[in-house]
Amino acid sequence: MGGVYPPVTGTNTSRYWHPGIMVNGKHIETKPTDYGPDMYSGFIMDFMKKNAAAKKPFFAYYSMTLIHTPWVGTPDNPNVKDNSLEALKANVEYTDKIIGRLIKTLEDAGIRENTLVIFLADNGTENWGKQTVTEWGPRVPFMVSCPGIIQSNRVSDAPVDLPDVLATMLDFTNVRVKNQKDLDGKSLMPVLTGKTTNHKPVAMTHYGNYRV
């Protein structure tokens, strides 16, 4: 990295450079040269390694800070203009890099084949659909991978909404609920394993008083 980005003065900190971090109730000291996304993903990788070594099943929920605003320089592209499309591009590329690290961690631990990986966004991008119920609001990336169970390079047109994620994870882990009506979602396992192309007729989204 060429120099320190961004310059930090006084108590000014960011979710990215020189982040404020609490781990299990303990404050972690950081420096202006510390990049938050690298630290956060490092915690997740350590968690996966420890559980894999102990041969314990685990659930890891990684709520990434990337690509949330502000869009600032990354370790690979420290000199882009803040909140520019160039900075957004750099943040998307670094997101991809971190996902690659997480996948490699699973591969190195020997558990990639039977680990269900779900990658999705929670809303459209800032200024391009976020907080709307138009197409760019609810339509977000949704990718699922489990090489030992799910065939790769397949695309589905099935309508999906977030409650389906819980139902899908329960199905993959053979966890049964007493009453399926207690679940708002529907498992995607039949679609993901190629048993059917049909899932459900509609998906629901809302923002404030707006529904679609």
Record the tokens describing residue 40, joined without a space. Answer: 């956060």
Higher pLDDT, 14 or 19: 19
One-letter amino acid at 11 equals T
3-state secondary structure the chain: CCCCCCCCCCCCCCCCECCCEEECCEEECCCCCCEHHHHHHHHHHHHHHHHHHCCCCCCCCCCCCCCCCCCCCCCCCCCCCCCCHHHHHHHHHHHHHHHHHHHHHHHHCCCCCCCCEEEECCCCCCCCCCCCCCCCCCCCCEEEECCCCCCCCCCCCCCCCCHHHHHHHHHHCCCCCCCHHHCCCCCCHHHHCCCCCCCCCCCCCEECCEEC
In sequence order, what are the residues at sequence separation of 6 or more whose Cβ sits closer than 8 angstroms to the Cβ of residue 160? 142, 188, 199, 203
Rounded Cα gap, residues 13 and 19, in angstroms? 6
Q: For the segment 101-123, what is each residue's pLDDT rounded down to a tens digit?
A: 999 999 999 999 999 999 998 88
Record the tokens describing residue 93, joined without a space. Answer: 């590329």
Record the tokens describing residue 126, joined without a space. Answer: 């800032």
Question: How many CA atoms are closer than 13 Å to the CA of 71, on its beta-carbon side?
Answer: 21
Q: Are strands 206-207 and 142-145 parallel, antiparallel or unpaired?
A: unpaired
Model pTM?
0.86
Higher pLDDT, 3 or 134: 134
- Say if residue 211's pLDDT is above 50: yes
Q: For the segment 150-175, what is each residue's pLDDT rounded down to a tens digit?
A: 988 889 999 999 999 999 999 999 98
Q: Of the given ranges (3-12, 93-102, 110-119), which has the lowest mean pLDDT? A: 3-12
Task: State mean pLDDT over 132-159.
Answer: 89
Rounded Cα gap, residues 206 and 212, in angstroms? 6
Q: How far apart, in Å, do the first and last CA atoms of the chain sit?
A: 45
